Amino acid sequence: MDSEIIIDNFLNDFESFRIHCDDVSYDGVVNPEDGVFYPGVSLDIPKSIEAEVIARTINSIGRDIKVNALFLRLSTNGMDAPHQAHTDAVMGSYSLMLYINRLEDCEGGTSLVLHKKTGLCSTPINEKQLKVWQDDTNNEEAWQITNIAAMIPNRAFIFDADLMHRAEPVGGFGDNERNGRLVLTMFYD
């Protein structure tokens, strides 16, 4: 697989799913992998949408996958992410971000970033890199954007989970599930 794939018009019935997303709870969850509480998360995804996301991913990459997690993530204006610049390597080999926003509420996307001083752009592999990441994960100015997948409704961005990335804009946007930054995320091997 290429390290980055963008697929537009990902879901067949995007509008029905978008309407569904207006009426679910985004109270958040504790991730069992890292023990961190992630605000704005919902696991309320219809089984038919889960099946379509998985099937479309398999068709796009040309091989079977093992899904490790699938959830919705809402980031409203001012929401603090536990880690701005981060990788998803603890969750799987690949990440998929499916943008669920309405067209009038789209801004930002997902950026791939590198640490300006050290060039760190993937999962830390030693104590020195881990320290750099821990010190600067939430320092927006410490990171340079190397690529960005623009947030367009029903666009999927698939990338190597080992790549350092962050949600754009940092701090989210909007003030509720109807106009905030909303992404369906899937981690898989």
- DSSP class of 12: T
| pLDDT (tens digit per residue) in 36-50 | 788 889 999 999 999
DSSP annotation string for 77-99: TTPPPS-SSB--TTT-SEEEEEE
Cβ atoms 124, 133 nearer than 8 A: yes
Closest CA to 113 of 90, 88, 87, 92: 87
| pLDDT (tens digit per residue) in 124-147 | 999 999 999 999 999 999 999 999
At residue 130, the pLDDT reads 94
DSSP annotation string for 121-155: -B---SHHHHHHHHHHTT-GGGEEEEEEEE--TT-
Q: Where are the domains of the chain?
A: 4-188
Gap between the Cα atoms of 24 and 4, Å rounded: 30
Q: Is the torsion defined by CA of 63, 67, 68, 70 positive or negative?
A: positive
Gap between the Cα atoms of 34 and 78, Å rounded: 23
Residue 54 carries which side chain, given as an amino acid letter?
I
| pLDDT (tens digit per residue) in 73-125 | 998 888 777 789 999 999 999 999 999 998 777 788 999 999 999 999 999 99
Cβ atoms 92, 188 nearer than 8 A: yes
Structure confidence at residue 2 as a pLDDT band (50, 70, 90): low
Q: Class of 4-188 per CATH?
A: mainly beta
| pLDDT (tens digit per residue) in 14-67 | 999 999 999 999 998 887 777 878 888 999 999 999 999 999 999 999 999 999
